[in-house]
Amino acid sequence: MHGKWWQEAVVYQLYPRSFMDSNGDGIGDLPGVLAQLDYLQWLGVTVIWLCPIFRSPNDDNGYDIADYRAIMDEFGTMADFDRLMAETRRRGMRIILDLVVNHTSDEHPWFIASRSRRDDPKRDWYIWRDGRNGGPPNNWESIFRGPAWQYDAGTDQYFLHLFTARQPDLNWENAEVRDAICDMVRWWMDKGVDGFRIDAITHMKKAPGLPDAPAGDGHGPVPAYDFHMNVDGVLDYVDTLAREAFSHGDIMTVGEANGIGADEAEPWVGASRGRLSMILQFEHWHLWSGDPRAGLDLCKLKRILSHWQNALEGVGWNALYLENHDLPRVLSRWGDPLQHRHASATALATMYFLMQGTPFIYQGQELGMANTVFHSLDDFDDVFARQRIVEMRANGMADDDILEEMALTARDNSRTPMPWNDGLNAGFTTGTPWLPLNPDYPQVNVAQQQTDPGSVLGYYRRMIALRASEPALVFGRYRLLLADDPQLYAYTRSLDDTTFLVVCNLSARAARYRHDGFNLEYAACMLANRPLLPHPPCNAFDLRPFEARVYRIGPAPA
């Protein structure tokens, strides 16, 4: 499992709309990304994942694509993209794109043709069915709430949309659809992009016959994941993509893989399968989504992440992440932004980043950004948030309670503009930002942290550099220690005669590390998020709240 460039990579997930605005329209753009490439190079990341940059009406901020071969107007031009790619390369970094091919926008010419007439040649490129008893063809609920079907009066049929009604699902059963997508993917590969993150990849196959999901009371749509997520046969489509497109270059492919457990991962990412480089699994954040007010259940988190580490050891490769544009900030979920911002941001970072796999950093995470502040329900921009608000109101929930719930869970939390400095609009734009800034930007911004090696940003930079210089931290075998300790996440990474010990106190209380397996007498502390308190050579030490340390045990480099 050695020898792929993407195994050594560190990925920076960039939300272009919120990264840097170059023309004062309040919306981030590609020239803005270009202007900040030096920052990313300084940080040490080697791959930039651009969330969708394609032409889109932005019902779901670019995850609704109207033209796969054009750049979104607000983001710039294809010439801007070409320049960005060349300049990224020149700095030794690479770009991967977000491939959204479970669905398109309803403004995509394919869909416009498909909906125009029942006998249009593209009719079957989407999933059309007759209604049933004056309602939708089945009882599936959309992942974004409400029925998964939209009625089209013009042709008197319904089309399927697993996300919003403006994101019709493509019909992957249709060979012309598969060909058109693979052709488009090869087109981007020919332009030189280094890979793709594939959106909603586990949803591309729907259960044959589109049967009803078992219904509660028979009224209204019901969640139907069993019928559209990881359905038998979905891997055939991944094979098509791999065979007809991905395998034509040395690229990195990352599937967004809701519904795949660690024991089911090998067929997706097993090195011998030739399908995907890695997948973004959902199990660890589902720990939190069940009850957003619950604290971190560390033992469960250790079980989940260790299961992934062990299941893929020697057979496949993990994608490591804590944050993305669909989640609130991890610091607000599992850290303590009020009392221990620096320590908890860096302890969480240390915990996930040094496992076996390719680490992903979501923009702003490297600054220790926390959730933003919402004053009213009108503050939510995200289409999913707005649909959830409608649903909660329909269920009789009071607006104050909805606001409290949404503030904890909304995706807008992680989509606020990048704080570059403490000046006007945090240096993000000279215009009006499309989404208000996180009000803590005067304290949490790049300029202030870049000059302070003791900052969260400085810590990320050191951690990235440490991983880059230590093959054991990239390829080494992972072993969990202290599985039942409710405060400490401790593990080792071993390769040949080098072992690293990673110990993170993920609680706001002091904790004692003790493990008889190692004597730390000859160990060197390679990274620590708090000044080290001297401790006698031994196999035990105390950690302050959210303290994290990384020791090298075994021979030091010559």
- With beta carbons less than 8 A apart as the criterion, state whether 160 and 138 touch: no
CB of 102: closest distance to ligand NOJ in angstroms?
7
Say whether residue 200 binds ligand NOJ (CB under 6 A).
Answer: yes
Nearer to ligand NOJ, 260 or 495 (CB): 260
Say whether residue 199 binds ligand NOJ (CB under 6 A).
Answer: yes
What residues contact 152, with CB distance under 8 A and at least 6 apart?
Answer: 115, 128, 158, 159
Q: How far is CA 86 from CA 42, 95, 107, in A?
A: 17, 10, 31
Nearer to ligand NOJ, 15 or 551 (CB): 15
Rounded Cα gap, residues 97 and 253, in angstroms: 10
Helix (H) or strand (E) holding 160: strand 157-160
Rounded Cα gap, residues 361 and 485, in angstroms: 27
Nearer to ligand NOJ, 15 or 513 (CB): 15
Say whether residue 547 binds ligand NOJ (CB under 6 A).
Answer: no
- With beta carbons less than 8 A apart as the criterion, state whether 166 and 210 touch: no
Q: How far is CA 108 from CA 94, 167, 184, 188, 301, in A?
A: 28, 10, 14, 18, 41
Rounded Cα gap, residues 112 and 33, in angstroms: 32
Q: Is 59 among the residues known to form the active site?
A: no
Interface with ligand NOJ: number of residues (CB under 6 A): 9
CB of 209: closest distance to ligand NOJ in angstroms?
24
Q: Which residue is catalytic, options 21, 60, 194, 199?
A: 199
Instruction: Give the Cα-Cα-Cα angle 93, 99, 105 (nearest 5 degrees).
Output: 140
DSSP classification of residue 168: P
Which of these, 289, 239, 284, lies nearest to 260 by C-alpha position?
Answer: 284
Residue 83, exposed/middle/buried by CB under 10 A (0-12, 13-18, 19+)?
middle
Say whether residue 163 binds ligand NOJ (CB under 6 A).
Answer: yes
Nearer to ligand NOJ, 60 or 547 (CB): 60
Say whether residue 360 binds ligand NOJ (CB under 6 A).
Answer: no
Nearer to ligand NOJ, 414 or 449 (CB): 414
Nearer to ligand NOJ, 200 or 527 (CB): 200
Say whether residue 326 binds ligand NOJ (CB under 6 A).
Answer: yes
Q: Is 521 among the residues known to form the active site?
A: no
Which 3 state secondary structure label does DSSP give 288? Answer: helix
CB of 91: closest distance to ligand NOJ in angstroms?
27
Q: Which residue is catalytic, options 74, 106, 169, 256?
A: 256
Strand 128-129 to 540-543 pairing: unpaired
Helix (H) or strand (E) holding 151: strand 149-152
Which of these, 410, 447, 450, lies nearest to 428 by C-alpha position?
Answer: 447
Nearer to ligand NOJ, 60 or 366 (CB): 60
CB of 476: closest distance to ligand NOJ in angstroms?
30
Of 11, 21, 50, 60, which one interacts with ligand NOJ (CB under 6 A)? 60
Say whether residue 246 binds ligand NOJ (CB under 6 A).
Answer: no
Site string for ligand NOJ, 100-119 (x = CB under 6 A): x-------------------
Minimal CB distance to ligand NOJ: which residue? 63
Using CB under 6 A, which residues numbered 437 to 476 contact ligand NOJ?
Answer: none
Which 3 state secondary structure label does DSSP give 395? Answer: coil
Say whether residue 63 binds ligand NOJ (CB under 6 A).
Answer: yes
Say whether residue 15 binds ligand NOJ (CB under 6 A).
Answer: no
CB of 64: closest distance to ligand NOJ in angstroms?
7
CB of 202: closest distance to ligand NOJ in angstroms?
11
CB of 391: closest distance to ligand NOJ in angstroms?
16
Which residues are catalytically annotated? 199, 256
The site for ligand NOJ (CB under 6 A) is made up of 60, 63, 100, 163, 199-200, 256, 325-326
